[in-house]
Amino acid sequence: MTDLFWLDAGSGRPVVLLHGGFLDHGMWDDQIPVLATRYRVIAPDARGHGRSPNATGPYRLTDDLAALLRHLDTGPAILVGVSMGAGLAVDTALEHPDLVSAVVVSGAGTSEPYFTDPWSTRHMATWHAAMAAGDLDASVEGFMAFVAGPYRALDELKPGVVERLRRMARATMAKHTRDEPNHLVGVRETWERLPTIGVPVLAVHGAVDSPDHIGMAERLVDAVADGRATSIDGAAHYPNVERPDAYNKVLAEFLRAL
């Protein structure tokens, strides 16, 4: 039995929605009721996020997810993830392939990122410094820079989008302390193993996301046997939140074709 929090709505083929880092299942509020009319929709909070407890010992996100899916007896599921959730979806296709029938990603390739673009490396360094210092306000705003992406200011986004993501990020970051041990164990050699993924993979880019994030997702779809990519204009790292109608249309077309 898993101790994670999750939502389970609808019936039919299982679709699992995996949120980004420092967020929670609420980032899928515009997708859950739509998908639940045709599918069984499962939306967990990752360990240490949202309503799931913090870790007390070593863990891997992919093993947490596998335990949940086995507990729910889903069989092979379609994993849909953004950012951290995208990496988790790919890692699970590598580590627990019997549980995965297709993968949809935005803003990541695997859980082992690589950043080369100056904007990404600069903001990652600033953000990590704020978290190391235990400065909650600066940590939240460092996260919010990725919401806007490298080409826009936050005030160019819809206020509801900004406040929704800021609220989730603050709630999750506030669950943790500066001196808390990091128990997360990473999955290794993920990029090298991508050709072993034998299920369809779709990358849904926010067109104004950072070049690094788009590049990682492109590398993923180029490496697998059945990979494809599409972009959503007017969105950065969280296309499902910024442009839910466009994102839902792309996702629905992919799901119907499976």
Tens-digit pLDDT profile for residues 185-210: 999 999 999 999 999 999 999 999 99
User: 107 Cβ partners below 8 Å, 6+ apart?
Assistant: 20, 82, 83, 86, 205, 206, 209, 213, 214, 216, 217, 237, 238
Per-residue confidence (pLDDT) for residue 128, from 0 to 100: 86
- Containing H/E element for 101? strand 100-106
Query: Among candidates 36, 40, 105, which has minimal Cα distance to 69?
Result: 40
What confidence tens digit (pLDDT) does each residue in 41-57 have? 999 999 999 999 999 99
* pTM, full prediction: 0.98
pLDDT per residue over 58-112, tens digit each? 999 999 999 999 999 999 999 999 999 999 999 999 999 999 999 999 999 999 9
The span from the CA of 33 to the CA of 15, in Å, is 12
Mean pLDDT of the region 118-128: 89
Residue 1 pLDDT: 53
- All domains in the chain, ordered by first residue: 6-115+182-257 (3.40.50.1820), 118-173 (no CATH)
Name which of 137, 140, 44, 116 is nearest 84 in CA terms.
Answer: 44
**Residue 7: helix, strand or coil by DSSP?**
strand
